[in-house]
Amino acid sequence: MKTIFTIWTKPIKTFEYLDMMEEQDLKVRMNWLFLLGSLALLIPKVPQTVEKYKSMGHQSVAYSIIMTILAIGMLILFFKYVYSFIVLKIGKMLQGKASKLQVQVVLAYALVPTLISLLISVVLVAIAIVGKDVAIIGYQNQFTGFIIWIFAMRTFIFGIAQYNKFSYGYALLNLCIIGALFEGFALLLKQWVH
């Protein structure tokens, strides 16, 4: 089963199939999805990062690339360990049955829609190289981003419901609690910085 494709049309069957896979194969797939998903989230930000570091006095593009690579690594670690831990604990508070690995798999497969963004970024990089217009790399269409977000949330809700033995309402509640936690953290951080 080509899970990267079936997650779009048959998410429940895909998660059932993934649940029967060997743990090592599942971890390899999960790590690749975390890597590709993190790339998809950060590649469009490269031109902004280059400009930011240039404004800070770093003229080297290599410095910006190194910082982006570090950010990708940190994003992978965040998704794999921190975010999955929070999702797991909230699920357990709601009497969920999922294991740590199952939550990590859900998060990895929720990143699959961002691969569309990665494909768009690769095309834009090719156009930028041919046309010598680096600014095009950071182009993001809001409508495409919204559709990707909808599919990512859908995948997350189906996966959390499947593994935690939740209704879709409880899975949505799980997602809302996480959103509220992160929004609260962002507000506190914003208050602390200012």
Mean pLDDT to the nearest integer, 55-83: 79
Q: What integer pLDDT is reported at residue 107 of this predicted model?
A: 92
pTM attached to this predicted model = 0.81
Does residue 148 belong to any structural domain of this protein?
yes
Residue 172 falls within a domain, yes or no?
A: yes
Residue 5 lies in a domain: no
Q: Tell me: the pLDDT tens digits for 34-61?
A: 888 888 877 777 767 667 767 777 666 6
Predicted pLDDT of residue 193: 80
Greater pLDDT, 137 or 95: 95
In 30-56, which positions are buried (b, 16+ CB within 10 angstroms) versus exposed (e)? beebbbbbbbbbbbbbbbebbeebeee
Write down the mean pLDDT value for the chain.
Answer: 85
Domain contains 166: yes
Q: Domain range for residue 58?
A: 11-193
Average pLDDT of the residues in 144-170: 92
How many beta carbons lie within 10 A of that of residue 96, not counting itself? 23
Confidence of residue 162 (pLDDT cuts 50, 70, 90): very high
The pLDDT tens digits for 101-153 are 999 999 999 999 988 887 887 787 777 777 776 666 666 678 888 898 999 99
Q: Is residue 20 included in any domain, yes or no?
A: yes
In a domain, 3, yes or no: no
Determine, yes or no, domain membership for 1: no
| Domains identified in the chain, total number | 1
